[in-house]
Amino acid sequence: NPMLSDPDLNHAEHALKNLEFLVVQDIFLTETAQHADVVLPATCYAEKEGTQTSTERRVQMWRKAQDPPGEAKVDWQILCEVAAAMGYADQFPYQSAEEIFNEIAAVTPSYHGMNYERLSRPEALHWPCPSEDHPGTPILHIGKCSHPDGMGVMHPIEWKPPAEVPDAEYPYILTTGRCIWHWHTGSMTRRSATLDNEVPTGWIEINPEDAKALGIQDKEMVRAASRRGEVTVEAKVTDEIKKGVMFMPFHFAECAANKLTNNALDPIAKIPEFKACAVKVEKITEA
């Protein structure tokens, strides 16, 4: 959902509006889907069969709990039907998620020993699992690293400041992140009444000394602005945030933190600087 997760949302919106044609495949009409020419209704995790691989290399089975609603279809089926409509049915002949997994296992050496029969057992498999008699590899490195000499490779790096640092006009550092009750852009969690009751909207954390200097009270609505945009958001005055630093969660479209963030990229990883940009915060005075 890049219309809430991308940095500098005004720039992201400008880019989406200038596309000739945009297709979004999702389970809800997200902020991004609202810009789409076509929305393909996909299925959620509980409505499809398949596998998932976690960041610890654990491969597990999905088992469908219920049928998809309405005209929603599983992701692989949508892709196959689009491919067929474009004249490439022969390259996408799949009839099930299992057929796709078998192809993955056939062309990926670390998955060679995996199949649905093995994955259906209570014990999950971890890649690498190169053969059907291999038990999988729950711990990847034991006693040594995978380099030829068994040692790790470490490189010293020089600290560099973020692309944008505070100045007289924008004197505070803004950092962003998640809260425990919501995930990413909230496209699912904010549709849960229980989770939304816990945290119904966003806030900006301000150190008490900064709040006093700005004349801002706890729970007061304030205006936070950067060189890219501004939002109106509730102040949360707390000594859990350092003086000179402010924090906003980015789950909330009505006070989207990423309207403020900088789309400058890390030169190597190409990750935007979500965690540091310069902002100013103002008390909202009635006209």
Q: Into how many domains does the chain fold?
A: 2
Considering the domain architecture, whether residues 177 and 122 belong to the same structural domain is answered as no
User: Cα separations (Å) of 209 from 107, 175, 222?
Assistant: 59, 18, 16
Considering the domain architecture, whether residues 113 and 213 belong to the same structural domain is answered as no
Considering the domain architecture, whether residues 109 and 179 belong to the same structural domain is answered as no
Give the model's confidence band at 286: pLDDT under 50 very low, under 70 low, under 90 confident, else very high: low
Expressed as residue numbers, the domain containing 27 is 2-126
19: in domain: yes
Phi/psi for 281 (5° steps) reads -130, 130
Looking at residue 82, what is its pLDDT?
94
Give the pLDDT confidence of 60-98 residue by residue, as tens digits.
998 999 999 999 999 999 999 999 999 999 999 999 999
Considering the domain architecture, whether residues 105 and 212 belong to the same structural domain is answered as no
**What CATH code is carried by the domain that includes residue 42?**
3.40.50.740
Give the pLDDT confidence of 141-188 residue by residue, as tens digits.
888 888 889 898 899 989 889 999 999 999 999 999 999 999 999 999
Considering the domain architecture, whether residues 106 and 193 belong to the same structural domain is answered as no
Give the model's confidence band at 268: pLDDT under 50 very low, under 70 low, under 90 confident, else very high: confident
**Rg of the Cα trace of the chain?**
24
